[in-house]
């Protein structure tokens, strides 16, 4: 079976309210036009901001081929009569209540009845009598002492350890923004984050694509202020877009980490505006790597070799950063899974997907420089009707691009591709995602089968359209 995933695209009808701010970042000035890398330091400084608001929205659907196994009063019964010994009344002054201690409480010692009662009382009767006596004593103390005096609250924690979720959230939140889009069909909300000191903001393409041919994009900063934004460049293949606002010099960019260094089990933090709730922070781990995810359809289809996480990602988180426990961006939240057969979004089910930062960093730099990004290809057309082992090259005459990587490596129409870089590929989407996860100029190997014979060929990836 397959798990369907949908990109957390923006909601309709946002109810705007300024976003809360935990802190601001203070970082050293960067070279104009550069995107900070993992070596640039982060220094958090405090900042203030107003409360969050809620927003409702709907979004598009996406699919991925994922193998699966398919957010005092106490009533006491009367006891046998008997005398009750009460302690002498306390002095008429306030009686402070001692703070609870983290130790075990000794069992209550029952009162000893006198005379006939001692001879006829059962153990249960003695215990109940003790409880009654205690209640009478407590009532007498409360009546004599007036208002109880509780211990004064102790001072709270004023600092957070380096590397804690609270410290990382405080350093990250000032650089995360909410992206509000309006077009002829309605409005929606997504997330984004600052990537340099020139006002560039990285988000998902599906967050802003509806405004690309007419509409408005407004970026709400962490302090609640709003600025109009323009699209610098967008890429449907990797589902990324770069925006620009005028307040670049006043914003601190987040640092990119290396997604190639991430391993399953690493702790992560997702930040964004799920359901329009700005400055929301959730935590989890990396639950899988290299998960093939395809989003959208037609000309807007994206291919992602995704980081899978169980950190709660919901509609509206799209475009927000997924950071590691050093506060470095290792992914861009892009899609969530939903159960097969469901017709509407159920929110996070513990399967969220993020675009790896290595690919996002390179793509963002290309979009800023040229307004577009390049994508590696091997130069073959796939037979999507084939359902056997591996992925079959189409049998049509133009199935293999003349002079392309596959042609030069000896691949022919009708060949079956079994492995890419030593990894089994079972569907066309898996092959495309694996190729797109590489860079132009990378040398790769394919294991192919022709007429029952298997062999391995080597090729160098080239840019699509090149």
Count Cβ atoms below 10 Å from residue 421 Cβ, excluding itself.
15
What's the rounded Cα separation, in Å, for the pair 209 and 211? 5
The catalytic residue among 287, 318, 334, 357 is 318
Question: Which residue is it, tokens 């069992």?
Answer: 107
- CA 247 – CA 219 distance, rounded (Å): 11
Give yes or no: 261 in active site: no
Is 79 among the residues known to form the active site?
A: no
Q: DSSP character for 39?
A: T
**Exposed, middle or buried, 92 (CB in 10 Å: 0-12/13-18/19+)?**
exposed
Catalytic one of 196, 235, 239, 429: 239
Query: How far is Cα 34 from Cα 365, in angstroms, rounded to an integer?
Result: 8
Q: Which of 175, 191, 200, 206 is catalytic?
A: 206
Rounded to 5°, the CA angle 261-266-272 comes to 100
User: Residue 380 has which token pair?
Assistant: 């073959």
- Answer yes or no: 206 catalytic: yes
> By CB neighbour count within 10 A (0-12 exposed, 13-18 middle, 19+ buried), where does 466 fall?
exposed
C-alpha span between 310 and 264 (Å, rounded): 11
Give the residue numbers annotated as catalytic, written as ranges.
Answer: 206, 239, 318
């Amino acid at each position: 079976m397959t798990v369907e995933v949908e990109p957390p695209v923006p909601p309709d009808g946002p109810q705007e309210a300024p976003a809360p701010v935990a802190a601001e970042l203070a970082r050293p000035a960067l070279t104009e036009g550069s995107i900070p890398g993992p070596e640039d330091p982060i220094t958090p400084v405090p900042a203030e901001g107003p409360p969050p608001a809620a927003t409702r929205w709907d979004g598009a659907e996406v699919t991925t081929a994922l193998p699966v196994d398919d957010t005092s009063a106490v009533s006491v019964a009367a006891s046998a009569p008997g005398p009750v010994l009460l302690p002498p009344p306390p002095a008429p002054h306030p009686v402070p209540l001692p703070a609870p201690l983290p130790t075990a409480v000794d069992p209550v010692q029952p009162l000893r009845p006198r005379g006939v009662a001692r001879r006829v009382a059962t153990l249960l009767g003695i215990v109940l009598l003790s409880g009654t006596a205690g209640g009478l004593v407590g009532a007498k103390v409360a009546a004599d002492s007036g208002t109880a005096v509780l211990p004064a609250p102790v001072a709270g924690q004023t600092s957070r350890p380096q590397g804690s979720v609270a410290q990382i959230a405080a350093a990250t939140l000032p650089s995360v923004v909410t992206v509000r889009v309006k077009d002829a069909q309605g409005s929606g909300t997504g997330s984004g984050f600052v990537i340099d000191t020139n006002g560039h903001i990285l988000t998902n393409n599906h967050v802003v694509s509806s405004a690309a041919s007419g509409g408005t994009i407004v970026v709400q900063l962490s302090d609640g202020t709003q600025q109009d934004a323009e699209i610098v460049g967008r890429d449907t293949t990797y589902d990324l877009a770069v925006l620009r606002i005028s307040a670049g010099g006043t914003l601190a960019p987040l640092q990119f980490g290396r997604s190639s260094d991430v391993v399953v089990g690493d702790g992560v933090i997702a930040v964004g505006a799920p359901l329009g709730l700005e400055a929301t922070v959730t935590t989890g781990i990396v639950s899988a790597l290299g998960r093939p995810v395809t989003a959208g359809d037609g000309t807007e289809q994206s291919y992602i070799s995704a980081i899978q996480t169980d950190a709660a990602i919901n509609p509206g988180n799209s475009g927000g950063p997924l950071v590691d426990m050093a506060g470095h961006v290792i992914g861009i939240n892009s899609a969530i899974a939903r159960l097969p057969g469901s017709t509407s979004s159920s929110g996070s089910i513990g399967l969220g997907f993020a675009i790896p930062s290595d690919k996002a960093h390179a793509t963002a730099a290309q979009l800023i420089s040229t307004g577009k990004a390049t994508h590696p290809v091997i130069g073959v057309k796939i037979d999507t009707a084939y359902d056997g082992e591996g992925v079959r090259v189409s049998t049509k005459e133009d199935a293999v691009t003349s002079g392309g990587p596959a042609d030069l490596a000896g691949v022919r129409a009708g060949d079956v591709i079994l492995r890419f870089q030593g990894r089994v590929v079972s569907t066309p989407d898996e092959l495309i995602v694996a190729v797109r996860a590489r860079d132009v100029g990378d040398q790769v190997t394919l294991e192919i089968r022709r007429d029952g014979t298997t062999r391995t060929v080597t090729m160098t990836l080239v840019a699509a359209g090149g």
